[in-house]
Amino acid sequence: MNQWKNFTKGFIKDNPVFVLLLGLCPTLGVTTSAVNGLGMGIATTFVLVCSNLVVSLVKNAIPDKVRIPSFIVIIASFVTIVELVMQGFTPGLFDALGLFIPLIVVNCVVLGRAEGFASKQSPISSILDGLGMGLGFAFALTLLGGIREILGNGSIFGLKFIEGDAMLVFVLSPGAFIVLGYLIAFINKIKKTA
């Protein structure tokens, strides 16, 4: 039961983007379309799960004082793996996400979970926590990307359903801030009534 809670809390209750407000840079930067959001979400989930697992395995071997730099090295190693894999297998997505792939290293969600959860809990709980948080992050990014794509481009997951131009501003940078602002307000409203 408790393990199940570790997994599900990332979706709505402790959603990293909508509630904890972590990792906003990639959230705003890459969500020009649903596919980009989903790709970024999956990449981050992979890094989160792996780094959570390794951190919780080595937590007793790391002296307290060098804890943060060690976590950063662990995270950076997995980010490099993701970078190389994406470059090799999904070059299109790699180009679309660009700078934001190496920047997963400084994504506060990843370091936050390593420091706040995995450094204290068992490996199994840490994996579930990483998976839940990662999928919650991916869900938030896909939702935001989907809304921006529908409004700004008249398409969803690349399938166009409106002929001609849509409200282009939503794909550009101002749209990211405005859509996320209203989404957070909406989620606050849901959480209050629920």
Partner 1 sequence: MEYFVIIIGSIFVSNIVLAQFLGICPFLGVSGKVSTSIGMSGAVLFVMTIATIVTWLIQTYILIPLGITFLQTISFILVIAALVQMVELILKKISPPLYQALGIFLPLITTNCAVLGVAIQTVSRDFNLLEGVIFAISNAIGFGLAMLIFAGLREHLDLMSVPKGMRGVPIALVTAGILALAFMGFGGLV
Site residues, partner 1 (CB under 8 A): 21-22, 24-26, 28-29, 68-69, 72-73, 76-77, 79-80, 83-84, 99, 102-103, 105-108, 111, 169, 172-178, 180-182, 184-186, 188-189
Side chain identity, residue 162: I
Specify the residue, 8 or 72, whose C-beta has the smaller distance to partner 1: 72
Specify the residue, 110 or 131, whose C-beta has the smaller distance to partner 1: 110
Widest CA span in the chain? 60
- Closest approach of partner 1 to the CB of residue 100, in Å: 8
- Closest approach of partner 1 to the CB of residue 7, in Å: 26
In angstroms, the CA 69 to CA 65 distance is 9
Contact 30, 146 (CB under 8 A): no
3-state DSSP assignment of residue 71: helix
- Closest approach of partner 1 to the CB of residue 16, in Å: 12
* Burial letters 114-130, b for 16+ CB under 10 A, else e: beebbbebeeebbbbbb
Specify the residue, 73 or 124, whose C-beta has the smaller distance to partner 1: 73
Specify the residue, 21 or 124, whose C-beta has the smaller distance to partner 1: 21
